[in-house]
Structure 1
């Protein structure tokens, strides 16, 4: 069928949240490089961008704002943060296919060629809000390990997670066990 891009068909809010978490992981690290940020964008289906240091700084500032959604203690608090992000950055909803390079999908940023920071906030906030509305719970959290604190997404069923990975959970469980022994 002309105009369809099967490689990009079926993009979902979950995929956009996974991309947001991966970008936040890179952007919240100390001094992220343009190449490391571009690699994450490419991994999640974006065309290879040529990012400047200024654009990476803009994306990092956006990541710090998005981190507050993951830090929210409950759905109402997360919704409040998301609504504030929409009020500050979003425009009217619009459908775009990016010059037929991607399948049709929803955007709430101002333009396809807008600033990277606004794109990260609006695309991530839209996906996080969709998950919050669908599941009626916070769409993610921050790792409970004091040595980590990375954002993570709640994408599956089951009880809410406290840690970003099994590695952090195991490290904290072992530390608690050792503390009880002493």
Structure 2
């Protein structure tokens, strides 16, 4: 029996938030974490009730979690993605529980230690939970790494059809144009 549509939508929203945070927290090639306000904006843009006040230490913990979550997206197949998720789930500090954040949100599952868990713990636990449901539901990796050499983004797998290689149409177009130009030079 499939979960109701609202549950599927919530899992997808949590997975979309994971992608946005992993991309925001790991985009810099120099390894510098983003500013706390930039990360807070991503959280607010994905439905986190405000105000969101993050410190540099919060962002550093979240960046560490995001780097671990990139491993799920880099996994070459469903078995590898499941193995990474199992390893990361083993690192979480909580057990599955339901919360409504004192009535401020609809009831939803959490896997972190409590509603006041540190941001890094929350990101790892909530992301693992959403990505685990996607693997379970679709029996494939939840996403991948952009194949563009100039991009470090992760993306979610969108559904049936050919395997996705790029995080966006922009990256796909940029790579097609570059390949066309290389081919034109060799003629």
Same fold (TM over 0.5): yes
Distance 2:68 2:46 in 1: 21
| DSSP 3-state at the match of 1:67 | helix
Give the number of aligned pairs: 174
In structure 2, the residue matched to 1:41 is: 43
Distance 2:172 2:90 in 1: 36
What CA deviation, in whole Å up to 9, does each residue of 1:13-36 have, x standing for no partner?
111010011111111133301111
Distance 2:180 2:93 in 1: 47
In structure 2, the residue matched to 1:14 is: 12
In structure 1, the residue matched to 2:3 is: none
Alignment counterpart, residue 89 of structure 2, candidates 79, 82, 86: 86
Q: Which runs of 5+ in 2 are unaligned?
A: 1-5
Using the TM superposition, give the Cα deviation of residue 140 of structure 1 relative to its aligned residue in structure 2, in angstroms.
0.4
Distance 1:91 1:158 in 2: 36
Using the TM superposition, give the Cα deviation of residue 174 of structure 1 relative to its aligned residue in structure 2, in angstroms.
1.1
Q: Which runs of 4+ in 1 moved over 4 A?
A: none
In structure 2, the residue matched to 1:157 is: 160
In structure 2, the residue matched to 1:178 is: 181
- Scaled by the length of structure 1, the TM-score of the pair is 0.91
Q: For 1:1-182, what aligned pairs fall within 5 Å after superposition? A: 11-30=9-28, 31-48=33-50, 49-182=52-185
Using the TM superposition, give the Cα deviation of residue 166 of structure 1 relative to its aligned residue in structure 2, in angstroms.
0.5
| DSSP 3-state at the match of 1:88 | coil
- Scaled by the length of structure 2, the TM-score of the pair is 0.89
Using the TM superposition, give the Cα deviation of residue 126 of structure 1 relative to its aligned residue in structure 2, in angstroms.
0.6
| Contact 2:23–2:152 (CA under 8 A) maintained in structure 1 | no
Distance 1:131 1:155 in 2: 11
Using the TM superposition, give the Cα deviation of residue 180 of structure 1 relative to its aligned residue in structure 2, in angstroms.
1.4
Distance 2:36 2:159 in 1: 31
What CA deviation, in whole Å up to 9, does each residue of 1:65-110 have, x standing for no partner?
1010000010000000000000011522101111111111011111
What CA deviation, in whole Å up to 9, does each residue of 1:121-180 have, x standing for no partner?
110111111011111111000000011131011133322210000110011111111111
